[in-house]
Amino acid sequence: MLSVLALLSAALAPQLVSGQVPRLGGVNTAGFDFTVYTNGSFTNNAAAPPTWQYTHFSAEGANLYRIPFAWQEMTPTLGGPINETFLYDEYNPIVQAALASSPDAYVIVDVHNYARWNGEIIAQGGPTNEQYASLWYQLAGFYGSTPRALLGLMNEPHDLDIPTWAESVQYAVNAIRAAGAQNYLLLPGSNYTSAATFPTGAGPYLLNVTDPLGGTEKLIFDVHRYLDYDNSGTHAECVTNNTEVFETLVTWLQANGNRQAILSETGGGNTASCDEYLYQELAYIKNSYPSMVGFSVWAAGSFATNYILSMTPYANGTDQPLYNVAVRPNLPAPV
């Protein structure tokens, strides 16, 4: 399959699908990624996100749903074929439910493995670039006819050689285009895709990633940023609104060809500090379009309502207090 990637890429017409990605805002709907650890291992304790949440959030003005999965679920053999039972019967029905919740809804198809497979880094002692690209070649063949599917190339790479990682990202981009897909692609950096370090860390290397379609309009940088004291997203209290971080990032994006980024993970606890700071952060992101195309907060889906960063609605249909105060007013079409 991958031996013909170069030929297929050369055969693609250098044209972009018209239209810019709209302002986006919504939630991560976690579950398929449960027990994917930061070393890229997976203990197969997944739980499909409840589909009713998509109609719930879309009715309130959300139009973006990030749906993480474990690499090992999608291709149980590294570099091998897609597990059709997982893709067809488990994962894709969730994607389609999200898309069907609104004619304006987008999804992020997110492989959640931290640039690793069972502890080993892609092209840095672990999976080869060809094995990584094989995953995306197959997924692109499936989702290439779904323009509202954004392809998130990898969740939170970390502790790796950045120039080598940028080469792996290019490999995945080439594979996706070789499959004929013209979707928007989300390019992750390093340091857990930190928005704070992106302009001086991975960003300069990812600027060199090219799109076989031509131009860079469909290559969007993927960043994360939490609001607790160590940016881990593991504490209920927020200590910053991150606006200085995003001001720096937006300035960098505009200075480098008016590139775009998306905040695909952020969040906080149901505390007064997060009511204030998360609201301010998301308002800044919303007002920074098109440099920042939008956000998805962490997290709803299969998380319990008492999870520390839970955005999961309650059984009676009401939302988490933080969602009502900080997220809902900053959605693209708040209701």
Catalytic amino acids?
156, 265
Classified as helix, coil or strand, 303 is coil
Q: Any idea what DSSP says for residue 313?
A: P
- Beta strands in the chain, from DSSP E residues, in sequence order: 24-30, 64-69, 106-111, 116-117, 120-121, 149-152, 185-188, 219-224, 261-265, 292-301
**Nearest alpha-carbon partner for 125 in 164, 98, 96, 158:** 164
Buried b (16+ CB within 10 A) or exposed e, 121-150: bbbeebbebbbbbbbbbbbbbbbbebebbb
For residues 50 and 320, the answer to whether their CB atoms sit within 8 Å is no
d(CA 25, CA 64): 5
For residues 35 and 43, the answer to whether their CB atoms sit within 8 Å is yes
**Nearest alpha-carbon partner for 291 in 223, 232, 242, 226:** 223
Classified as helix, coil or strand, 277 is helix
| Residues in Cβ contact with 88 at an 8 Å cutoff, skipping those fewer than 6 apart | none
CA distances from 67 to 63, 220, 229, 249 (A): 13, 17, 26, 25
Per-position DSSP letters for 3-62, written without gaps between them: GGHHHHHHHS-S-PPSS----EEEEEEESTTTTB-TTS-B-----PPPTHHHHHHHTTT-
d(CA 331, CA 335): 9
Q: What are the phi and psi torsion angles at 140 (to 5°)?
A: -65, -35
Strand partners, 121: 116, 125
